[in-house]
């Protein structure tokens, strides 16, 4: 059970930072093209 919780936590953290990175990249691109 503990391993499942740790795995979910890691996935959430990695997924969140990936989403933030993609968002910054995308919004940076939008800023440049305007």
The burial of 5, by beta-carbon neighbours within 10 Å (0-12 exposed, 13-18 middle, 19 or more buried), is given as exposed
pTM over 0.75: no
Boundaries of domain holding 11: 1-34
Residue 17, pLDDT score: 84
CA distance 2 to 26: 36
CA distance 10 to 17: 11
Q: CA 4 → CA 10, 22, 29, distances in Å?
A: 10, 27, 37
Q: What is the mean pLDDT of each run of 10 residues along the chain (34 residues)?
A: 90 84 78 66
CA distance 7 to 32: 37
Residue 12, pLDDT score: 87
Total of domains in the chain: 1
């Amino acid at each position: 059970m503990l391993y499942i919780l740790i795995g979910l936590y890691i996935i959430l953290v990695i997924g969140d930072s990936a989403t933030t990175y993609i968002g910054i990249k995308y919004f940076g691109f939008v800023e440049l093209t305007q």
